[in-house]
Chain A
Amino acid sequence: MTAISIEKPKAIVRSGTRFMSGDIACAEGALAVGCRFFAGYPITPATEIAEHMARRLPEIGGVYIQMEDEIASMAAIIGASYAGVKSMTATSGPGFSLMMENIGLAVMTETPCVIVNVMRGGPSTGQPTMPGQQDVMQARWGSHGDYEIIALAPSSVQEMFDLTVQAFNLSEAYRVPVFILADEIVGHMWERVRIPEPENIKIVNRKKPSVPPSNTFASFKPDKDLVPPMAVFGEGYHFHATGLTHDERGYPRTESAEAQTKLVQRLCNKIRMNKERIIQVEDAMLEGAEIAVVAYGIAARAALSAVRKARERGLRAGLLRFVTIWPFPEEQVAEVAKQVKAIVVPEMNCGQIVREVERAAKETPVIFLSKLGEEPHKPSEILAAIEGVQK
């Protein structure tokens, strides 16, 4: 899946132990898993992803294009994906808002693609150079209509590489847009990254149609996993795709309640039904814990430090970290909630994922720690909350 054929492409995977920023690690992860098309628009704090792609993609026969805005960037990556090339874009809050329209189109047309949002402080132009976790609900619900997407939250530079690889694999497997919800700190932070040898990088490619082109080809007919194999332009299938409600042929069905129900439920169910395979969480010191901190992204690093300090002081605290934010790890939270006296949720927003945690935790009290602006949570702030519960 290369856009432009060249004789001797440069090395694609930069295997080895390297020192790089989160944004660059994200770009390298995309290249390693086969992304060969990037469309974007400069925006702090995600610009470095675009700059790195602008340099690296042409070296290996890929395409970088700077579009006129984020609406166009999102449309272009859908086009590239339908032409058979793995594609991505990267942005921050304001651009993410503009992408919502065509994120809905990607959902409706089941387009594999990856959207990176290096979150900054909002609303509106907000604080471009400051971190935030304010777009997690927008990622889930930002485009109109009912749908399910997948969102991953890296909390280190290593994860910017690893989760970008996984994001592509998930998008190809489920034909769904997948989000990387990073934040300014993770994006701009420099850390050591271990990039595996190419043969150790798992690559998932979309299912291809098992039937030859014909005038009865049903381009949106799902397999048992509810995901249809994907034909691409130029292979002779002469298929149609539309943002309108459509049938298995891809043809508009704008007046049929049955078609609407069948399609929209399948778009939701292909993720819901497979959520056990999709959801990843990590836990630390949860065994025997009486208090759990539930966190993701940058906040999870301070949370881990706080939980360690709490244990040093004899407090039985543990951490549940979401690697996957959407679909929401509801069962994992419910399980932890049964075991602990209280859950502490630190987030760099005014309360978003905490609402989901409250819903899943049922009777277990949930303490929310909000943080806005320059600094992430201090471990001491989270520790104080843990100590507060124990008193």
Chain B
Amino acid sequence: MEELPHPYEKFLRKDRIPHIWCEGCGNGIILNCFARALDELNADLDKVVVVSGIGCIGRVSGYTNTDSFHTTHGRPIAFATGVKLANPELKVVVISGDGDLFAIGGNHFIHAARRNLDIQVICANNFIYGMTGGQMGPTTPLETWTPTTPYGNIEQSFNLVHLAAACGAVYVARWTTLHTRWMTESIKKVLQKEGFSFIEVVSECPELFGRYNKMETGIKMLKWFKDASQVQHFSDPAKAEITPNRIVVGEFVDIEKLGYTKLRQQMTMRAAEKK
């Protein structure tokens, strides 16, 4: 049988496939939506840089057929800051995980959002550290089980959309990997938006989070997303905590604010003209 080319083949480094992700993992869905968004925008791939940190989704930068950099754990946003400022023509997209961006890298996230740096951050939130075996992280829901919370998690979890909105992000959305069309539309939107944008994608890790919490297949996890998600556009992100019964999805913030790149350009002009 003749092998048909994948419709998004040009967005992938074919010599890096097959990927390392497990069966039932949500990361491939996120990569697919990202490729679809680039395709629908007819984006110039020479001007896109994908930056990721460490973790399962961190490997995504190795699979995208653009310039890409796989940083140290937690540092993709700080690295991306240097890239964007050194060459403002580039679209610098950070795709990384909840542990990478919000535990070890939390400081960089809040400050890039505060600066309104013109980058796009897509977070695959699988609730745990997948690469190291499913340990609890900053988004692990209360009273769930992981290898490092063998008696149930007693820590409150981050509500990422609330955090991003509070830090000043101009665009904040949350989707699950079931909401592929909306996720794609969000990615398209942020790729054209000035300032700091954030998309949280609630993603399934049946191998670890699922297995420890009675959802040991991708289908079971997606069923949870289907049953629990409620689309509520522009609802209060403060009230959007993820619970077993409720995952509020939708756009939370979409505002216009002068981006850091433009402010820097203006300041540079002032400095150069000053006698």
Give the B-binding residues of A (Cβ under 8 A).
3-4, 6-10, 36-37, 39, 58-61, 63, 65, 67-69, 71-73, 75-85, 87, 101-102, 104-105, 109, 215, 233-244, 249, 251-252
Contacts and interface: CB of A to CB of B under 8 A. Distances in A.
A101 B85 CA distance: 22
Interface residues of B, number: 47
B81 A65 contact: yes
A10 B185 CA distance: 44
A37 B86 contact: yes
Given A79-B80, A233-B87, A241-B69, 8 more contacts: A3-B86, A6-B268, A59-B274, A68-B110, A81-B86, A82-B82, A105-B72, A251-B15
Interface of B: 13, 15-16, 45-47, 49, 51, 59, 61-62, 65-72, 75, 78-90, 107-108, 110-111, 264-265, 267-274
Contacts of B83: 79-80, 82-83, 233
Chain B interface mostly helix, strand, loop or mixed?
helix
A101 B89 CA distance: 28
A34 to B, nearest CB: 13
A60 B273 CA distance: 10
B81 A79 contact: yes
A58 B268 contact: yes
A236 B16 CA distance: 18
B265 A243 contact: no
A372 B272 CA distance: 44
B265 to A, nearest CB: 6
Contacts of A10: 272
Given A4-B264, A59-B271, A63-B264, A37 B82 contact: yes
A251 B13 CA distance: 10
A109 B264 CA distance: 28
B71 A83 contact: no
A76 B264 CA distance: 16
29 contacts: A6-B269, A6-B272, A7-B272, A37-B82, A59-B274, A67-B81, A68-B107, A72-B107, A75-B71, A75-B79, A75-B81, A75-B82, A75-B108, A76-B82, A79-B78, A79-B83, A79-B84, A81-B82, A82-B83, A87-B86, A101-B72, A102-B72, A109-B69, A233-B87, A238-B45, A241-B68, A242-B70, A243-B70, A243-B72
